[in-house]
């Protein structure tokens, strides 16, 4: 399944007030694996950024003055996102701007070019009700380094969001989701062994310590007890009053 993690930076917060997109970053996932086939544009928005927006992204009018205008990149963007499921954090904001830009060019809405939308902010609120669910907060929660994120940038934020999405949706597969597993047919590697010849070797102290460390890591990832810890150490029954 092809998915595109997308983020934009804009001149302000409301396209109806004439604000425009000035940066788009896209990261491609195929079957939940990063492909490296990413897409990134700086765009001349043909207007100044509002002060609050400029403080967020730091992209000045001078820097953007020689960049392509949206109409010059729209065909490449349409081809890239065609039919894909698009993943966005706070999707109504980005989609509002993208649909507005497409409308200015008399094109069908951005949402008509794609196969669906996943809003990670909605997902995060369902998983973590009552907690902060900004991209920075989710990076902290899932152990994703964002120390290099001094200002908002569309491609950087899309890369971080891709990591957050994979962590948020993989559950306890988080320790090995990004590693391709080789499927091995054990029967092809071992000669049949009679049951009487099987030797059971107890785990060493180092192996037991490594096992305990792995379980502790899983407990930390789920903010409580993972299913293995709970099975090995069930809570004591409460005494009746």
Q: How many domains does the chain have?
A: 2
Share of the chain above pLDDT 70, in %: 75
Are 42 and 9 contacting, i.e. CB atoms less than 8 angstroms apart?
Answer: no
pLDDT beyond 90 at 211: no
| Proportion of the chain above pLDDT 90, given as a percent | 66
Q: How many CA atoms lie within 13 A of 37 on its CB side?
A: 11
What's the residue count for the chain?
241
Paired residues of 29 in beta bridges: 3, 34
| Active-site annotation holds for 128 | no
CATH number, residue 18: 3.30.420.10
Expressed in angstroms, the distance from the first to the final Cα of the chain is 54
| Full domain range(s) for residue 60 | 2-174
Query: 173: pLDDT confidence band, cut at 50, 70 and 90?
Result: very low
In a domain, 115, yes or no: yes
* Higher-pLDDT residue of 127, 147: 127
Contact between residue 110 and residue 140 where contact means Cβ atoms under 8 Å apart:
no
Helix (H) or strand (E) holding 165: helix 154-170
Q: Which two tokens stand for residue 167?
A: 């962590």
Q: Single out the catalytic residue among 100, 128, 152, 211.
A: 152
Q: Are residues 104 and 223 in the same domain?
A: no
**Secondary structure class of 8 (helix, strand, coil):** strand
Decide: pTM greater than 0.75.
no
């Amino acid at each position: 399944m092809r998915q595109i993690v997308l983020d934009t930076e804009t001149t302000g917060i409301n396209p109806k007030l004439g604000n425009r997109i000035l940066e788009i970053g896209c990261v491609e996932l195929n079957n939940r694996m990063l492909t490296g086939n990413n897409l990134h544009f700086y765009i001349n928005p043909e207007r100044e950024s509002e002060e609050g927006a400029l403080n967020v992204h730091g992209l000045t009018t001078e820097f953007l003055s020689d960049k392509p205008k949206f109409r010059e990149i729209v065909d490449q963007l349409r081809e890239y996102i065609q039919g894909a499921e698009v993943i966005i954090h706070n999707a109504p904001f980005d989609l509002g701007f993208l649909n507005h830009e497409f409308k200015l060019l008399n094109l069908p809405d951005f949402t008509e070019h794609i196969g669906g939308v996943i809003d990670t902010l909605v997902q995060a609120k369902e998983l973590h009700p009552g907690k902060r669910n900004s991209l920075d907060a989710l990076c902290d929660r899932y152990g994703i380094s964002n120390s290099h994120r001094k200002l908002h940038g569309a491609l950087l934020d899309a890369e971080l969001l891709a990591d957050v999405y994979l962590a948020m949706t993989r559950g306890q597969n988080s320790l090995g989701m990004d590693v391709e597993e080789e499927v091995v047919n054990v029967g092809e590697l071992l000669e049949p062994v009679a049951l009487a010849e099987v030797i059971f070797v107890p785990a060493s102290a180092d192996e037991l310590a490594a096992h305990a460390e792995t379980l502790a890591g899983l407990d930390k990832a789920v903010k409580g007890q993972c299913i293995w810890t709970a099975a090995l150490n069930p809570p004591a029954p409460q005494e009746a009053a």
